[in-house]
Amino acid sequence: MKIQNAPPPIPSLPQQSPIAIQDPIYADFGDRKLDIDWSSSLEGHAHKDSHGLGIDVVEQAADHQIQLDRKNFQLQSFHFHSPGEHWVHGKQHDMELHLVHKNPENGQLAVVGVLIDGDAPREQQPDPLCKFLKDVDLASESGQPIQFDPKMFLPDDPEQYYRYEGSLTTAPYDSNVSWVIMNKPLSVSQEELAELTHLFEKPAREPQQLNRRYVLSSFKDEGNLAP
């Protein structure tokens, strides 16, 4: 019998983020699904740096965490990108919020991404998200801690999301980041958004190659049916 040589190892391909989401595969995640368990009131420290405006959560406690793939990740920080980084069915959104969670045991990251569009009519009352961002901007200058309810960042229907494995979208671009991108964007008015974009002067990273990865969706994505 002729013993064959082992096949050459498959070169490891970069698994970077963001990506352009197209043709996701519908998956019933069962008990691996995303469960958001954020407490209604958190305290954070606002900061402005090369990432633009962001907030570090003061305590990473078990009462503001998510479960994903049967693992726990605790909310650590969040920040915004303008324009959005993940493209969905060929569309780039006006902004994108990244809620960064960390598994306390192995340091693995899970980021929940929420897309934001300036397509709502301006209301009499300021939009709660835009008002919050102005408060964050002031807090970053005063150094005062800021209280907030992270549930305000959840779009309608947070059970609808995309999932894939990727990386940080800023240096050092570490891999081993589990991504959840919410399907429904948040809507704010164009006028209010225009007043805020100077706070997020960070260019979006270009969508990266998928390289044998799959994108899964928790819902039957109508975008698949579009011609």
For Zn ion, the binding residues (CB under 5 A) are 98
Sign of CA dihedral 94, 60, 16, 219: negative
Tell me the closest approach of the beta carbon of residue 166 to Zn ion, in angstroms. 11
Nearer to Zn ion by Cβ, of 64 and 202: the residue is: 202
Tell me the closest approach of the beta carbon of residue 99 to Zn ion, in angstroms. 9
Angle, CA of 72, 75 and 78, to the nearest 5°: 145
Nearer to Zn ion by Cβ, of 32 and 51: the residue is: 51
- Contact between residue 59 and residue 41 where contact means Cβ atoms under 8 Å apart: no
User: At 128, phi and psi to the nearest 5?
Assistant: -60, -40
Residue from 36, 178, 18, 175 nearest 93 by CA: 18
Nearer to Zn ion by Cβ, of 148 and 179: the residue is: 179
Nearer to Zn ion by Cβ, of 98 and 102: the residue is: 98
Tell me the closest approach of the beta carbon of residue 98 to Zn ion, in angstroms. 4
Cβ–Cβ contacts within 10 Å for residue 106, how many? 8
Indicate the residue whose CB is closest to Zn ion: 98
Tell me the closest approach of the beta carbon of residue 212 to Zn ion, in angstroms. 24
